[in-house]
Amino acid sequence: MMKQIGLEPQEIAALAEQYEHQSPQAVLSWALERFCSQLAICTSFQADGMALLDMAWRIDPTVRVFTIDTGRLPQETYALLDQVRRETGLSIVTEAMDDEGLESVAEVADIVQIGARNMQNFGLLKRAGRLSKPILLKRGPAASITELLMAAEYVLAGGNPNVILCERGIRGMDATSRNVFDLNAIPAVKQLSHLPILADPSHGTGRRAMVRPMARAAIAAGADGLLVEVHIRPDQALSDGVQSLYPEQFALLMDEVRGIANVIGRRVPAPLR
């Protein structure tokens, strides 16, 4: 696997030792320097060439620490995200878990995510409708496409027109993949709604080997962007390591995505530099 992605085992070991006690910012700086020609984890194919990057280098354990009663991240984590954005110029997408945490997330995030299990949290959706920030709304694990669109209506009705939908897989019966990645949702949403839709093949499949093929298929189906998880040491990730690409696998995916986008008459924004 290491040879496949272009890094020898000794290189991985050296990187692990070098960045073991470094800040997330230091890891980001390394990643940007080495892969700056490819980085665009969440890329929109709209004409304005908008590009966002949702990066979580889970080196600092506080990034995934949360309280048992609320599931919210500690306040210092929001400050960390804000610092990373200021130092790197990257946009931040992060999730609001409940009404109380929504305001804290909105203060630091450029886009507020409402996760799959909150898709029908109507109180949260209504409050999100009063925000000025764009809302990234993920489809629930057992939700129909109609239910996803109706959930989005709660945000739109509250006065926030900036809603982005996300297909991230629905619950299936086969343990071969984490979810059933429903590509039908992409052209269906295009037909039924004016809202843009992203695809999340990382959660949609839950398997690293499946992420690139399904990401390519999602772009061919008309997705307006991708959410792809990337980690320099997936085997040591605090969560979702089995579905995270190595950086060089991600770089290869972006080359493939650009080729597919060109064939169907769409455009991938220039790489971040």
pLDDT band at 82 (very low <50, low <70, confident <90, very high): confident
pLDDT at residue 174 tops 70: yes
Whole-number percent of the chain with pLDDT over 70:
71
Q: What is the DSSP letter of 3?
A: T
The position carrying tokens 């995916």 is 253
The token pair that represents 201 in the structure block: 């093949």
The residue-averaged pLDDT of 4-23 equals 54
| CA atoms of 33 and 48, how far apart (whole Å) | 25
Q: Are 271 and 59 in contact (CB under 8 A)?
A: no
pLDDT digits (tens, 9 = 90+) for 194-217: 999 999 999 999 999 999 999 999
Q: Average pLDDT in the 60-70 region?
A: 36
Where is mean pLDDT largest: 84-88, 175-179, 218-222, 233-237?
A: 218-222
Confidence of residue 175 (pLDDT cuts 50, 70, 90): confident
Summarize pLDDT for 102-141 with one digit per residue, the tens.
988 998 899 999 999 999 999 999 999 999 999 999 999 9
Residue 137, SS3 per DSSP: strand
DSSP, collapsed to helix, strand or coil, labels residue 198 as: strand
pLDDT at 88: 83
Q: Would you list the domain boundaries of the chain?
A: 9-263
Give the pLDDT band (50/70/90) at residue 65.
very low
Cα→Cα distances 20→1, 79, 236, Å: 22, 21, 11
* CA–CA gap between residue 135 and residue 161 (Å, rounded): 9
Cα–Cα distance, 166 to 74 (Å, whole number): 26
**Per-residue pLDDT, 20:** 57
For the cut 60, the answer to whether the pLDDT of residue 43 exceeds it is no
Question: Does residue 57 surpass a pLDDT of 60?
Answer: no
**The token pair that represents 5 in the structure block:** 């992605």
Least confident of 52-66, 84-98, 194-208: 52-66
CA dist 204 → 52, 90, 258 (Å): 20, 25, 21
Q: What is the pLDDT of residues 231-257, one digit of tens each?
A: 999 988 888 889 999 999 999 999 999
pTM: 0.75
* Cβ contacts of 145-148, under 8 Å, gap ≥ 24: 145/184, 145/185, 145/188, 145/189, 145/192, 147/119, 147/120, 148/119, 148/185, 148/189
What confidence tier does 3 reach under pLDDT thresholds 50, 70, 90?
very low
Q: 175 or 37: whose pLDDT is higher?
A: 175
Residue 21: burial class (beta carbons within 10 Å; 0-12, 13-18, 19+) = exposed
- Mean pLDDT, the chain, integer: 79
What is the CATH number that goes with domain 9-263? 3.20.20.70
